[in-house]
Amino acid sequence: MKPLTTEEVESQLKELDNWNFEDNQIKKDFSFDNFKEALAFMVKVGFEAEDLGHHPNWSNVYNSVSIKLNTHDADNKVTKKDIQLAKAIDKIYKNN
């Protein structure tokens, strides 16, 4: 998979909800009312990621989830696959 240029990533970020691009990855922090909601979100994202064959770098502390996306097979750079997963994650968060 071919990495996106910086300009392409920045253009794609306009279609996402508050994702940031730095250190060759796109990232976003999510907040929830409690741990159960954060965990449920992670499970839903996990199923979507598996369906897309792409998996996030993420962490969870109590009611927050931090997600970072880049493509390991593309020299750890951002690809269309990352943008696709970020869009799916935003949709899951909005419907959570």
Residue 86 DSSP symbol: H
CATH class of 6-94: alpha beta
Residue 96: pLDDT above 90?
no
What is the pTM (predicted TM-score) of this model?
A: 0.95
Residue 16's φ and ψ, nearest 5 degrees, are -110, 165
What are the residue ranges spanned by the domains of the chain? 6-94
pLDDT digits (tens, 9 = 90+) for 35-45: 999 999 999 99
Instruction: Report the mean per-residue pLDDT for the chain.
Output: 96
